[in-house]
Structure 1
């Protein structure tokens, strides 16, 4: 097995040039550097938008959020001498987020997604603002952003106000593992706070960048889980003496979902070994083994269109109004609406929760002596007179069921819970950020199920080997490598012991995508 997880990407992501990918955002979240496009075509486009806005202001043109109030207050005219103060007030009155904070990785992803949107060049922001976000990324300064308080339209107003506040030296940041006042960190590093131009507060806050940042992170974790669940399924099939022919290529050729076929192909590869004698007369395995490609395949087949939706949102200008500096127009619309991310995350969390449910059912079989084809109850490794007092993975299996149930409970779609807010101006909202947060919670619970299942499947195969029911000829090189990789960090369970720290260790490995699987 190749360990490719703990190397921070040594790369620099350029903004304002080519389209960014999910992987670019995740690279920034994990420590990659950022830079702005310096080509003349890009820099002049930014300049034209700013110059157009400045001309409009001099002519006392009416611009939403610049010379008017916000939202339902759009009919309130702002006196010319107060226009410069308006964005500052916008950042401050939205400073009401609650709940846990986004972690450093998530907050860095928010910096990347907002910078990508503003770098489309139609938000009317200036080079100093763009460069200030780059400075935060490259100095590893992350805004402290509370998770709760966004309904997903007009974008992530409240959480993004914490990014805006950081740029101007206010509130707090995560720096070197500590939460500190922004002003203190800026002073220590010699960073000068910027002053927001009239449109810039709205441009920073009125968008979908928090939900999109979380969606990028969720996507990569789900992509890895599809692979790891496939590997575990192969291990369970070996451990339970399952039927490898359930994954036959000719069988899957007649139901041509490409993702499902990919899962079946990976399973065939993992099960290419001499078949051991079976202690079962069942022609067909139970559904959690036989139909595993059909369950994991739903997630695998969803990934391409989920990528399209997430990356289109990532590379969009998703604030309001749009500033068309080339044609000197102000375009009022609703690009802050996060419906695509909401739907993508509702879909993704459901597909991921089904992975937890699949593994939960596999584990119920694997640990039950009535169904596991001769393995000891609860996979205990104890023998002789000590066997009756040892209970192996009994409590772990209960935990798997608890984590699975909680994951399934979170699959209620957030996108259908729109609320009318802000004097009924925001009367249909996306709930995209809540959907993204729900998805991350489902991923966490499913990763817990997956870590426990990996250890249990490893224990099952080791039991077969110790009881001389399996030899290396019965296990493919790929599964042997996975077995050895797990056992290098996990001691075979003979006498009962607390397994919490083992579980936490392997959850961490999963979240850092420690093993190259396929």
Structure 2
């Protein structure tokens, strides 16, 4: 099995996904552990000199002015973890929790948290033994990090709470014993470092980024299938059009469409066509899909930074030549505003693109505009064809519309007014994951309808669209009479979310550039 070396500086989304899916073990880089030890020495020096520093020997949040006796520092950390492990809701998936653990471990390995290396070794061991804490997903406000969810991870490190291991749920201590591990001891500041960071937000956004990387190129391919089925002109996608309004996403999508449509008889068929303009949902697709592409690109950039960011509070900047409280800085890197706003912007873009997809379905099903079979039924009137597929897409679109409300626009005051603005970043990232689900359902409906409409074409499609059509037909038969299409939609949505399906289509022709 592959091993990913974590050093606090070079974690990628691809490597994180391999850890999350259990395809890779992790190892703490030796140089990173040395940085951890240096920062830890700073914390222990502060304690030995009796200096008062927030997060080391004080209370937390609004209790910042309460000094904690040295004899109670370890108890303070245990109390912190136990009291903060109060998340609710359905559990996060094993993949999501493993990603969150890896992000937290990588951040702590940057060497600015002052945490002891033992908890880091314990996270490493849990990941490599496939011991996954059971973490309820709701509880983070996205400032002071993801305190409640991460506290459930920390519980498992000390042998408390429940975990998934060997396919079953069991007490954490039992799983540790089975793997020859012992509960981890928490020292001063360890508990705070383990839970104060943006690891839930970051891991969810990273997983969303990976899903979008595979899904959005396929969304453009589905558009092309609809262009073929509706026999639309591709002139609105020509490079000269987008050169005079050179938004990167718009140009990228238009170029992809032109590549995917190469060889289509539809191009020549429009040489002397009387139809001058197609509906906006076809003609303006680069301008709308392009925004989605740009939002996904920005999202990937944010994730790339956040995967290797230090989001603890306070932070430790060792100064061995001049030791003192100035080596520890209270700041706000734990605030997840950029993650929340990025997720919200992505959800809005997905809705806009999905709404355009729904309009294309209507065009393909309406004989007055398509010139084809009413609702693509073989015996119109006696049969309803794919009429209700459009209804289902509308229902998914309505749900997706509910995910457009920006979660980061909401804040609340907590901890006695000390924490008076929060990002709701975790909520926004969870919302984005749901938005991607609904977007995929709408896309599956368009693909089902476009593939059926393409059955009636009298001219050949492009090489890429012919291959995509064959891929669809491996799972979904053409419509010969009315049948339930629920399973068809489920399978196509599953395929659209499968990176291997995307890779097969991408590899079928050089016409499919990567996003």
User: What TM bracket, shorter-length normalisation?
Assistant: over 0.9
Q: Deviations over 1:313-365 (max 9, x none)?
A: 22111010112234541111111111111111111111112221121111111
Q: Is the 8 A contact 1:15 1:36 kept in 2?
A: yes
Aligned counterpart for 1:512 among listed residues 498, 503, 511: 498
* Whole-angstrom CA distance in 2 between matches of 1:115 and 1:38: 11
CA distance in 2, matches of 1:142, 1:260: 42
Q: Are 1:338 and 2:331 matched, yes or no?
A: no
Checking the alignment, whether the CA contact within 8 Å between 1:17 and 1:37 is kept in structure 2 is no
- Partner deviation per Cα, 1:287-328 (whole Å, 9 max, x = no partner): 110011111111212333322222222211101011223454
1:281 Cα deviation (Å)? 4.3
**Superposition pairs of residues 272-311 of structure 1, within 5 angstroms:** 272=262, 273-275=264-266, 281-311=274-304
Q: Decide whether aligned partners of structure 1 residues 429 and 331 sit closer, same or farther in structure 2, where only a CA change above 3 A counts.
A: same
Counterpart of 2:471 in structure 1 is 485
Could you say which residue in structure 2 is the equivalent of 1:264? Answer: 254
SS in structure 2 at match of 1:488: helix
- Residue 355 of structure 1 is matched in structure 2 by 353
CA RMSD in angstroms, aligned pairs only: 1.8
Q: Distance in 1 between matches of 2:43 and 2:480?
A: 72
Structure 1 SS opposite 2:159: coil
1-side partners of 2:429 and 2:442: how far apart?
Answer: 20
Instruction: Quote the Cα distance in structure 2 between the aligned partners of 1:69 and 1:17.
Output: 28
| Aligned: 1:396 with 2:389 | yes
Superposed, which structure 2 residues align to 1:88-167 within 5 Å? 88-167=78-157
Number of residue-to-residue matches in the alignment: 496
Verify: 1:29 aligned to 2:20, yes or no.
yes
CA-to-aligned-CA distance 1:86-123 (integer Å, 9 cap, x gap): 11111111121111111111111101111111111111
Tell me if the contact between 1:146 and 1:159 (Cα under 8 Å) persists in the aligned partners. yes
Residue matched to 1:66: 56
The aligned counterpart of 2:224 is 234
Query: Is residue 401 of structure 2 the alignment partner of residue 379 of structure 1?
Result: no
Give CA-to-partner distance per residue, 1:247-282, whole Å, 9 cap, x none: 112222212112211111111112122227579843
Check conservation: 1:97, 1:146, Cα contact below 8 A: yes
TM-score, normalization by structure 2: 0.92
Conserved? CA contact 1:45–1:326, under 8 Å: no
Q: Kindly state the Cα deviation for residue 500 of structure 1 after the two structures are TM-superposed.
A: 1.9
How far off its partner does 1:209 sit?
A: 0.5
Q: Could you state the TM-score of these two structures normalised by the residue count of structure 1? A: 0.92
Counterpart secondary structure, 1:151: coil
Gaps of 5+ in 1: 1-9
User: Residues 259 and 298 of structure 1 are in contact (CA less than 8 Å); yes or no, is this contact kept in structure 2?
Assistant: yes
In structure 1, C-alpha distance between the alignment counterparts of 2:106 and 2:359, rounded to whole Å = 42
How far apart are the structure 1 equivalents of 2:406 and 2:117? 39
Shift of 1:408: 1.7
- Which stretch has the larger CA shift, 475-484 or 267-276? 267-276
Deviates more, 1:450-459 or 1:289-298: 450-459
C-alpha distance in 1, partners of 2:456/2:138?
47
Verify: 1:19 aligned to 2:5, yes or no: no
Unaligned ranges ≥5, structure 2: 507-511
1:48-63 equivalences in 2 (<5 Å): 48-63=38-53
The reply on whether 1:370 has 2:368 as its aligned counterpart is yes
| Mapped partners of 1:17, 1:102: distance in 2 | 24
CA contact (8 A) 1:229 1:355 kept: no
